[in-house]
Every structure is written in structure tokens, then in C-alpha cells.
Structure 1
Amino acid sequence: MGNRGTTGQDNDQSKQSDTPVIKNHNNIRKETIRLTKVEEDEGETYALNFTFSCSYDCVLTIYLCSTEYRSSDKSGPPVYFHTPDYVPEKPVSYKFSKGIRQKFPENEYIIDFSKFKEEDITSYKEDEYYPIVMTIETDYPPPVKDNLKTYHKNKRQAQITYGYFAKITNGKYQFRFNKQCFLFRNKLFKMEDIYGHEKQEEDGKNEFDESQKECVVCYSNIKDTIVYPCKHICLCSQCTQIVRMQNSKCPICRRQAEKFICIQIENATPDGNRNNSDENSAPI
């Protein structure tokens, strides 16, 4: 399906388009990121905890109070982070073997908030400055001589998590999520939540509910289309055409649709979750 002009009853000029599927080999699960007070310390010392997955060996780096820089140099990465010398905590990198739902080691990364100015850790400037950035990048093995082209084509594969900290009423600090981006072949994509393939807990496993896979209009085809801006995945390709011709509203929330994006859902993400079901990548 390509972009298509609107005619006849298409009154809102909504668009329908395809988006490519990109397999993300690394994932920090944003909903698991938290700060835990170091109890034996009476100050403002916290341990950073979260769950992550990687399909290959990976390098995980944590930056505090870093400035984000964008680069137009095609020979290097499109984004990098700089931590000034005056910041008390320098970037720290860790290597991990491949694995699903790994727990970041307890008390491995400690933040002493008393060393920072409060405004430096509680506020951010979009696309410029962030109190905390975490990158998880595939640590590919050394290239094989006969496979150099493939190695250089795929070597940049990273997920970037941006956040800040908030001081709540009891004086404690909490992590606050800002956004996640995905670096693939030196292109940066923004990751967005989509809704319509909800998870269910069964035997301790976080699985997708197979009963929710059908289109909400025809109840026979597999749903493969996201409605924007509400981001409900609820339609199959055929029913999307009907909705566009009738009223161009989301069948779930009735919000006016600006565009429809067709995606492919697969079973090959690091968490065992379906690709593009939790998050859909859109280029920045």
C-alpha cells in the first residue's frame, strides 16, 4: 500500500502508508526503570535498577547530565552525548552477554544526588540536554574478512533511553521517563507506544493475548494498521480503506484520523514480544 490521495467521501485528507519493519536487538524496558534508596546511607544515595534484553552481547552505557549532539557526518553516528568535566559522575559502560529479561545488577550503579544541583537533574531541554541517558548497543564480534560488508552495514544497532529525575513530596527522588530512540544503520528513529495488542500474564510469562489479533471491523483478517494520532492498532488493510472512505475516524476511540500506517508484526524481539507491537519506530 502506498500513499493515496483522498477523493469522493474522503473529506479529511487522511493518508495511508506502509512502514518498514526493523528488528530491535536491544531493549531497556522503560516501565522497569526505578531508583532504590540505599538504606544504609542517610544521604541522597540511590541505586538504579531496570530490566533489559539483548539478542547479542551488548554494551550498556549510562550518562548523567549530558548534552546531546546531532551530527550530519555520514561516516559517524548521527547522535552522541557529552558529559562536561564538572559533572561528578562520568559515563560508565558495562558489557553483558546476550539474554532475555536480564536484571541490571543490584547496587551496581549508584547516584549520589547531593553532588548535583537540583535543576541539573530535574529538568531537561528536548533534543539537547538530559539528566540521564542510557544506551544499549550490540557488541558485534570482530568482522570476518569475507563478511566485511555485512558487518559494517549492521554494526550500529542501539536503543537510547532518555529520562530525568523528580523530587517528590517525601523528599525522595524518582526516575521519570522522557522517550526512547532507536539507532539503526546510522539513522535515528523515535519509538512510540501503540495500543491494541495487550499483554497477559500466564504461567509467569508476559505474552500477547492472541484473541486480540483480529481486525475490530471484520473480525477475520489480522489487524496490521495503526491509526494516528491515537496510535490504536485495530484495522486490517482492507477495512482501513473502508474506514477512510466513510468517516476516517478510529473505530476504538472515534478520534479523527490523520493517517493510517500499515506495519508487520513478528515474533522476533529480544524480550520474546512481537516486533512493533509494543513500540513502533518512526524516523526523527
Structure 2
Amino acid sequence: MINRESSLVQQAYVAIPFSRTMAVMYLLVHYDVALRITIFYFAKEELNCRFVPVFPEAFEPVRVPFQKGLGQRFQQPPGTGIDLGFFELDDLSKPSPGEDVFPLVISAETCMLPHSSDEHVDDPTQSTSAHMQITQAILEKNGNSFQAKVIRQILWVDGVRYELREIYGIGSSAAAEGFDDSDPGKECVICMTEPKDTAALPCRHMCMCSECAKTLRLQSNKCPICRQPIEELIEIKINSTH
């Protein structure tokens, strides 16, 4: 399991001046490691976690290197934004069905490059960093601006692709799915005594201790929370600090 706190980019959002004639978007990203940030609009994923813009005439991807530092903020340079008036609002608010094209893709690559000025990407598909975090998002209109909503996050580590998923039953992620993880709900829902440390896949409910989970696999083989069939069990050890 990969802890979300280890992400290269801790938070991303957009602030966009909006008018009837022009909607130019500039991206802001918070980070604390040495990296290169590449921004794509309407990009699709290809082999080896490479991303290609499907409308290159509307926006040229921008790659900007940064040195390591705590609590830094990257703001997309003036003149490198995108005119959202080129697109329909419906296209901005959802991925393209079937093609897996996302309106906004942020690629954060770890690097050892010195700080330098902004640069456009001649061909962003030619090289792949050893470590990357990819954030795929949609753009939702919020008053006179747009807000980015993260849909998927991908980690690329030494040539292996990992897709980040929430485990329901750990912290605040549980509440969003209607599963109460607050005290006294930290015990296994089956034996009600041992701490829960095992999640069922693919539903991702962490609600059982390892022993009860093994027994359940031999009996009903269904998640006790949602009743979906269990394809795999994953044991997650959490260090609690009091």
C-alpha cells in the first residue's frame, strides 16, 4: 500500500479568470520535492505511462523544473494558459468515454535538474522518468472560475505502473462511502474484538481482521459490508500513535 502522504504533489487546484469571450486557465500546484511538472490538457495515456495531447493545436504541453523545498507553489507562467472557450463545458467536466482522455493531466517527475526557466515540451512522449506521479482530473465550473476534481492518480516507479485507490475503512475515506471508521468501529466487524487490518478486493472495504478474513474466504466469500464477491484479500498494517 502506498500512503497518500508520500505523494510528490500534495494538492492541486486551478484559478481561472472567466468571461464570455475568453477563459484562460492557469494551474497552481503545491509540492515539496525536486521535480519537473508537465501540464497537459486533453491528453491520453500510451505505453510506459506516456501522455499525448489530442488537441496539440490548442495547447502545447509545458514542462517546468523545480528544486526541492518545503511548501512551495508552482503557478503556471503567464502566456502558457489555455483558452477554455475552445471546448464545450460538457467535455471539460468528464473524461472522454472509451478513449480515456482527461481534460487535465499533471505529470510530476522526480529529477536532479538545476533550477531553470520555463520550457515547452518538444515531444513529451520521448522520455519517461524513473519516478512519476500522474494526476488526471476533470474541470468543473464554479461560479466565475473552474475547479479541478481529481479522478485518478498513477504512480510510475522503476518501470512499474501503480494506480492509487482509496481503502474504505482507513481514516476519512470511509466516511465518504458511508462506512463509519470512528471509535468504536475500529474492530473487525465479524469478531468485534480484533483490530481490522484486512481489506477485500475489488470493493476495497477494510473491515476485518486477518483471521476472520481467511475464515470468510472459505465460507461465503462475500464482503460483509457490501456483499460483493471477494477476489483477493490484502492485509494492511497500520501503526497507531497515541
Q: TM-score, normalised by structure 2?
A: 0.67
- The one of 16, 28, 41 aligned to 2:9: 28
Aligned to 2:122: none
Contact 2:213 2:233 in 1 (8 A): no
Where structure 1 has 5 or more consecutive residues not aligned to the other structure, the ranges are 1-20, 71-77, 143-154, 201-207, 268-272, 275-284
1:194 Cα deviation from its structure 2 partner: 1.3
Q: How far apart, CA to CA, are the structure 2 residues paired with 1:121 and 1:158? A: 24
Q: Please, which of 68, 86, 107 is the counterpart of residue 135 of structure 1?
A: 107
Aligned partners of 1:199 and 1:209 also within 8 Å = no
**d(CA) in 1 for partners of 2:149 and 2:172?**
23
Verify the 8 A CA contact 2:200 2:234 in the aligned structure 1.
no
TM-score (norm 1): 0.59
Cα distance in structure 2, aligned partners of 1:235 and 1:38: 48
Residue in 2 aligned with 1:157?
A: 131
**Equivalent in 207, 221, 234 of residue 248 of structure 1:** 221
Residue in 1 that maps onto 2:38: 61
User: Which residue of 27, 49, 65 corresponds with 1:48?
Assistant: 27
Match of 1:45, as an amino acid? V
User: Greater relative contact order: 1 or 2 (C-alpha under 8 angstroms, separation 6 or more)?
Assistant: 1
- Secondary structure, aligned partner of 2:212: helix
2: CA distance, partners of 1:40 / 1:116: 13
SS of 1:124's equivalent in the other structure is coil
| Cα RMSD after superposing both structures | 4.0
Tell me the SS of whatever aligns to 2:165.
Answer: strand
Q: Quick check: 2:136–2:153 contact (8 Å CA) kept in 1?
A: yes
2:59–2:82 CA contact under 8 A, matched in 1: no
Structure 1 contact 69–128 (Cα < 8 Å) conserved: no
For residues 67-86 of structure 1, the aligned pairs below 5 Å read: 67-70=44-47, 78-83=48-53, 85-86=56-57
- Percent identity for Structure 1 against Structure 2: 22
Does structure 1 retain, via aligned residues, the 8 Å contact 2:102–2:137?
yes
Asked if 2 retains the 8 angstrom alpha-carbon contact of 1:163 and 1:175, the reply is yes
Instruction: List aligned pairs for 1:99-138, cutoff 5 A.
Output: 99=70, 102=71, 104-105=73-74, 111-114=81-84, 116-118=86-88, 121-122=92-93, 123-125=95-97, 128-138=100-110
Equivalenced residues, count: 215
Moved over 6 A (4+): 39-42, 208-211
Choose from 79, 83, 88 the match for 2:59: 88
Unaligned residue ranges in structure 2 (runs of 5+): 115-128, 174-180
Residue deviations 1:191-213 (CA, integer Å, cap 9, x gap) = 2111111149xxxxxxx978665
